[in-house]
A = this chain, B = another copy of it.
């Protein structure tokens, strides 16, 4: 498995983005809070920059106003010539790419941590793009070790061959926090505190790394997206049923062949026709209805993450 090069210098330029989706309230209100009072984001070797990623959508308390910002960081959108009727989020993605990127360039931020909520029962979920992102996976491991009593799953969202499209992909390194269940437009104190603590722990990890800490190799368990599964549909394209009560809220649990997946309005059940167990995630996420996704089918995998070597000592200035 090929790996991204690990950082060989301290991470100085770090950003925490909230409100990439304007109705995912933990990140919206953490970003707003830190923009007023950024003290919590300071560490001895760096200060993370808070960013309210989609201010217009946050003001309207909607996921987006023109198109989904977090699907807009592809080279097609970032490099196309700006035209007057570009959706707001296309313009905003280019602004964020100038601020935090440019994507895939040496001038990009060292790390972007992007904050999300889901209506699905996913608990604390850490989203990295792919298993070759060693630095992000060590960060995930660090977060898992902070509260070993609470499940904290790692989800690898990138489908094979798919270009990265999320805001954190404009930085050299990044990942997302996904906390649920929380309804769109609702700010739950428990989720808010938990996300705040996770961000603090992530910044602590970066500080440890910057200070010269080495992190040993380990074996990681993660869930990797395999395919997206749509709702049952009537002839006119509208829903013909919804997620079955036996699947609802069972994110990350194995779905066995023959188990019910959907309940039709007619009362009939639709059964899972796969040949072996899969692991559904983002089950019945509100924002995915319009994308034609009832859940994301994932596979559970275990893989080896190589050690993250300590940074070389900083050169001592000449006497």
Contact = CB atoms under 8 A, between A and B. Distances in A.
Interface of A: 29, 32-33, 61-62, 119, 181-190, 192-193, 238-239, 241-245, 248, 263, 265, 284-287, 289-290
A286 B186 contact: yes
B290 A189 contact: no
8 contacts: A61-B290, A119-B183, A183-B186, A184-B286, A188-B248, A189-B242, A189-B243, A189-B245
A189 B189 CA distance: 27
A243 to B, nearest CB: 6
Contacts of A189: 241-245, 248, 263
Given A61-B290, A184-B185, A185-B287, A248 B190 contact: yes
A285 B238 CA distance: 27
A242 B188 contact: yes
Given A61-B290, A190-B248, A239 B29 contact: yes
Contact of A185 (B263, B265, B286): B286
When all copies of this chain in the complex are counted, the total is 2
Contacts of A187: 239, 242-243, 284
A244 B190 CA distance: 8
Nearest to A238: B32
A285 B187 CA distance: 10
Nearest to A180: B183
A245 B183 CA distance: 15
Nearest to A192: B242
Nearest to A241: B189
A286 to B, nearest CB: 4
Given A190-B245, A248-B190, A265-B33, A289 B185 contact: yes
A299 B311 CA distance: 63
Nearest to A188: B248
Nearest to A30: B265
Contact of A186 (B33, B192, B284): B284
Which A-B residue pairs are the 10 nearest by beta carbons? A183-B183, A185-B286, A119-B183, A187-B242, A189-B263, A186-B286, A189-B245, A33-B265, A190-B245, A189-B242
Nearest to A29: B239
A98 B29 CA distance: 43
Contacts of A239: 29, 187
A29 B289 contact: no
B183 A286 contact: yes
Nearest to A242: B187
